[in-house]
């Protein structure tokens, strides 16, 4: 049996399914496994350190876009649960489902849920593109998933999982367009690759490969196009903090 939750996918014939024997050779999953393997126990510290605390501001931006009284929210690529738990704390009456591909990170999130005694959080081992829940949700959030995801298939899943009027809130890194900012960004990653990799060797693959991933990703226009194809409305794109990251929001037609 697959270790991932199996989905019945209705609208993404071009993509690999989680119950497909080929999925293990999906380059997206191999990349995520290679980059994140062994990084779980230091993730929260590193994300805060490497973004100079700006990650917290970005998470607050995501929270501020949620509906005022959500009952059910699905947070995709939950990782160690930073955003999942922030949503659960902000909305104690909301059932928050954190979906994560890798058991290493999910185990850390589960331990945190037990420590914090949060009983409105459910943690699910699954690929974001494939997860199917029994009841619809009011919003689907994600932070740092889009550049790794099969976006047409993700848009399909989000559409199927949202109630009419439900919201998509997707956040990830973007490459700063202005040359002066791009120069500072390049220098910063050079420092992470030398100093950061010496101090945190388990992060070497990420420090080495993330810059190229961010330079090359076209996740914002690709997601917008996938959302339009899927029939989402009110699609909005914002740049955050000197265009170092982006936020795409959309609504399932009521």
Ligand X SMILES: C[S@@+](CC[C@H](N)C(=O)[O-])C[C@H]1O[C@@H](n2cnc3c(N)ncnc32)[C@H](O)[C@@H]1O
Binding site for ligand X (CB under 6 A): 32, 36, 47, 76-79, 82-83, 99-102, 105, 127-129, 143-145, 148-149
Q: How far is the CB of 135 from ligand X (least distance, A)?
A: 20
Nearer to ligand X, 4 or 188 (CB): 4
Q: How far is the CB of 236 from ligand X (least distance, A)?
A: 20
Q: How far is the CB of 48 from ligand X (least distance, A)?
A: 10
Nearer to ligand X, 69 or 149 (CB): 149
Nearer to ligand X, 32 or 158 (CB): 32
The token duo for 248 is 């795409």
Count of CA atoms in the C-beta half-sphere (13 A) of 190: 6
Residue with the CB atom nearest ligand X in the bound state: 79
Name which of 48, 211, 76, 229 is nearest 155 in CA terms. 229
Contact 71, 97 (CB under 8 A): no
Q: How far is the CB of 114 from ligand X (least distance, A)?
A: 19
Residue spans of alpha helices (H) in 117-240: 151-161, 179-191, 197-199, 204-216, 219-230
Phi-psi region of 6 (alpha: psi -120 to 50; beta: other; left: phi over 0): beta
Contact 83, 61 (CB under 8 A): no
Rounded to whole angstroms, how far apart are CA atoms 141 and 139? 6
Nearer to ligand X, 132 or 165 (CB): 132
Nearer to ligand X, 100 or 160 (CB): 100
Rounded to whole angstroms, how far apart are CA atoms 119 and 111? 12
Nearer to ligand X, 99 or 162 (CB): 99
Q: How far is the CB of 210 from ligand X (least distance, A)?
A: 9
Q: How far is the CB of 62 from ligand X (least distance, A)?
A: 9
């Amino acid at each position: 049996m697959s270790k991932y939750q199996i989905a019945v996918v209705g609208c993404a014939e071009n993509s690999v399914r989680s119950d497909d024997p080929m999925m293990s050779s999906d380059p997206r999953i191999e990349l995520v496994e290679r980059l994140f393997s062994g990084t779980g126990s230091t993730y929260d510290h590193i994300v805060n350190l490497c973004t100079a605390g700006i990650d917290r501001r970005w998470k607050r931006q995501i929270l501020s876009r949620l509906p005022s009284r959500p009952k059910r929210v699905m947070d995709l690529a939950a990782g160690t649960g930073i955003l999942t738990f922030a949503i659960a704390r902000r909305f104690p009456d909301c059932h928050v489902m954190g979906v994560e591909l890798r058991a290493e990170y999910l185990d850390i999130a589960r331990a945190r849920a037990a420590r914090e005694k949060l009983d409105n959080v459910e943690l699910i081992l699954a690929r974001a593109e494939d997860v199917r829940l029994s009841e619809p949700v009011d919003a689907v959030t994600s932070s740092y998933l889009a550049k790794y995801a099969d976006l047409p298939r993700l848009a399909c899943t989000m559409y199927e999982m949202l109630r009419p009027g439900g919201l998509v809130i997707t956040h990830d890194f973007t490459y700063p367009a202005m040359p002066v900012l791009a120069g500072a960004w390049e220098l910063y990653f050079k420092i992470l690759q030398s100093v950061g990799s010496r101090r945190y060797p388990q992060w070497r693959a990420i420090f080495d490969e993330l810059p190229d991933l961010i330079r090359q990703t076209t996740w914002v226009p690709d997601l917008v196009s996938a959302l339009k194809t899927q029939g989402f409305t009110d699609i909005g794109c914002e740049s955050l903090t000197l265009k170092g990251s982006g936020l795409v929001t959309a609504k399932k037609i009521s």
